[in-house]
Amino acid sequence: MNRLVPLALSLLIGGCSCDVPVAMDDDGGGVDGAAPLDAAPPRDGGVDGGDTDGGTDAARCEDADSDGVTDCDGDCDDADPLTYPGAAEVCGDGVDNACGTDPDPASLCMGIGTYVSLAGDDATGEGTRDNPVRTIARGIANAVTIGGPTTVVVAGGTYDETVTLAPDVSIQGGFDCGSLPCGWTHDPAANESTIDGGMSANAIEADDTITRTTRLEDLTLRSGRTGLLANNGSFVARRLRVFAQEGINAFGTVDPLVEDCIVRATLAGVSIEGDGEILTSDIEGSPAVRVRGPVEVRHDTVNASGETGVWIGGSAIVDSNLINEDAARVGTCSFGFCSGIAIWGGSPVITNNVVYGMGGAMSAAISIVHGELSVDAPIINSNTLYTSRRPGGSASLNAGVSCNSFSGLAMFGELRNNIIVGAGTGTSTGTDYGFYEEDLSPGRQCRPVLIENNVFSDVDHVARFFGAPEVLFTSVADADAEPWATANLSADPLLDATHHLSAGSPCIDQGTATDAPSFDRDGDVRPAGAGFDIGADERP
């Protein structure tokens, strides 16, 4: 055995423990990946470009069913997302889902299961693969009878139900069972499982008994009301497609996880009142995202059909999102500054985002409204901010950051390391400002504590304060002469089409380390080179 230890260690050092780096490749030559058969993206650290050449690297680690366990780590069926070491038992499939030798134990499963298909029957079906039930509600009822954590397995098709979740009972769609007997292979692209609540009912509802042990995966939700409504309940939602008036709404004391979802809503897209996470999702709505607690909003694509992209009423973390880039999906709002991000309260941390304003008469990448909820020193650092997506004509106002207080004096915090790009100077695109204090009643004020190390491009004025007359700081030199501004630049940031810094950009190494994030929007480490870069991208 001792002889094997160095070998095992050497394999681990190479990355994946089951992949053997090879010196030569079957498709010949020193340049790998060149042959047509080798066109698939490398999955083994780049040793080979694919697994079609019959080479030495045939046994690479894969997680084909996305259950989090690779074949190398012991997934005994990498085509079945319900089967892996440690998996909860799913009754009715004749499989030991934990990769053991005791399938569907009678003491647990009692001869019933949790398989659901439109080809099934609630009256005569046991919920097994061979004899599924017809409704998701019946599948959940069987799961509750069985007890313990388990999963309701839903075949493709449209289920006209309002589904009420049960604790520890997950629901996964995307399985193949059009007509009996079924293969039950998992392929969500070919087997869309839709829960349709109809015009006047929600698709899925959760109450306060639901926690993150209830997972909802590979489902389409449709409703004239709310796709997924959680009243003091939490959940994990992955790979959902939601088309509804309100997409996902978790209110009360909640801590849900929303990941890899697509949401199209006419009102709020994803709304979370408590704690939670919204990750790598594509969300459209009015607002697209609404968070009131310490929610993490990261790596999402967000478009505001109205109101704003991300509405913040608490101390959220909003990092590395792409907001309002799709002009065709960005609308206008009915009052004030239409914005990419709207801060209505709390001390949010806003970093590494690429944010556009909207269209219409008043547009801001970030608008701050200090009112009943009280905005308290948000951090706005290392973002790339475009004042508008579609300038609203010669009379329009466009701002990188706007601020309005309808509740006394507000010093809104610190603006560092941001790129602010206007629609252009001159009157044809309206008037573009880096920072804009809105017209306020006497005794009210909404101004930055500090504007430091930002780059301003194509703006008519770096800053504007309300007054009679208004106070304009047109150039960077005008602003930097004030105690609240320092080390700002006026320059073309040299952004490419994906908002990255081009070679020679004046943003490179010109940021301040104060409050700067440790990674950029691509996940690259900051700082690279001689210092922190300004904007959402750190050029390697």
Q: Which residues of this protein are in contact with Ca ion, per CB under 5 A?
A: 63, 65, 67, 69, 75, 77-78, 80, 83-84, 90, 93, 95, 97, 104, 509, 527-529, 533
Provide, rounded to whole angstroms, the least separation between the CB of residue 526 and Ca ion: 7
Shortest separation between residue 80's beta carbon and Ca ion, angstroms: 5
Distance CA 286, CA 278 (A): 16
Q: How far apart are CA 159 and CA 194, in angstroms?
A: 6
Cα 399 vs. chain centroid, distance in angstroms?
A: 25
In whole angstroms, the minimum distance from the beta carbon of 108 to Ca ion comes to 9
Instruction: Measure CA of the first residue to CA of the last residue in the chain; give whole Å.
Output: 44
Rounded to the nearest 5 degrees, what angle is found at the Cα of 159, between the Cα atoms of 155 and 164?
Answer: 100
Nearer to Ca ion, 93 or 205 (CB): 93
CB of 74 to Ca ion, least distance (A): 9
Phi first, then psi: give them for residue 58, nearest 5 degrees.
-60, -35
Give the pair of three-digit tokens for residue 11. Answer: 């394999």
Based on its alpha-carbon atoms, the radius of gyration of the chain, rounded to whole angstroms, reads: 27
Q: In 10 A of CB 430, how many CB atoms?
A: 24
Element containing residue 456 per DSSP (H, E): strand 455-457
Contact 37, 53 (CB under 8 A): yes
Judged by beta carbon, residue 38 or residue 520, the one nearer Ca ion is: 520
CB of 71 to Ca ion, least distance (A): 7
**Least distance CB 371 / Ca ion (angstroms):** 38
The secondary structure element, H or E, covering residue 107 is: helix 106-109
CB of 450 to Ca ion, least distance (A): 21
Between 33 and 506, CB nearer to Ca ion: 506
Measured from the CB of residue 88, what is the shortest distance to Ca ion in angstroms? 9
C-alpha span between 159 and 157 (Å, rounded):
7
| Shortest CB 287 distance to Ca ion, Å | 33
Nearer to Ca ion, 90 or 463 (CB): 90
SS3 225: strand
Nearer to Ca ion, 82 or 283 (CB): 82
| Total Cβ atoms within 10 A of residue 23 | 7
Tokens of 200: 């006047």
Question: Among residues 61 and 373, whose Cβ is nearest to Ca ion?
Answer: 61
* Residue in 109, 108, 128 with CA at minimum distance from that of residue 119: 128
User: Which CB, 104 or 325, lies closer to Ca ion?
Assistant: 104
d(Cα 288, Cα 275) in Å, to the nearest integer? 17
Q: What's the CA gap between 268 and 246, in Å, rounded?
A: 5
Q: Shortest CA distance to 473 belongs to which of 427, 435, 430?
A: 435
Q: Smallest distance from the beta carbon of 453 to Ca ion, in angstroms?
A: 12
From 103, 159, 161, 101, select the one nearest 128 (Cα to Cα). 103
**By C-beta, is 113 or 314 nearer to Ca ion?**
113
CB atoms near residue 233 (< 10 Å) = 24
If we measure between CA atoms, which residue out of 130, 181, 118, 124 comes closest to residue 155? 118
Query: Are 247 and 199 contacting, i.e. CB atoms less than 8 angstroms apart?
Result: no
Enter the DSSP assignment of 142. Answer: H
Q: How far is the CB of 533 from Ca ion (least distance, A)?
A: 4
User: Cα separation of 526 and 512, whole Å?
Assistant: 11
The 3-class secondary structure across 383-414, one letter per residue, is CEEECCCEECCCCCEEEEEEEEECCCEEECCE
CA–CA dist 405, 439 (Å, integer): 9
Whole-number Cα distances in Å, 42 to 12, 98, 118: 18, 30, 39
Please say whether the beta carbons of 95 and 88 come within 8 A. no
Cβ proximity to Ca ion, 197 vs 517, nearer residue: 517
CB of 62 to Ca ion, least distance (A): 7
Nearer to Ca ion among residue 81 and residue 422 (C-beta)? 81
Given the complex with Ca ion, which of 180 and 528 has the nearer CB atom?
528
Which is closer to Ca ion, CB of 72 or CB of 262?
A: 72
Q: Min. distance of Cβ 279 from Ca ion in angstroms?
A: 20
Query: What is the nearest approach in angstroms of Ca ion to the Cβ of residue 277?
Result: 23
Nearer to Ca ion, 14 or 527 (CB): 527
Q: Which is nearer to Ca ion, 80 or 325 (CB)?
A: 80
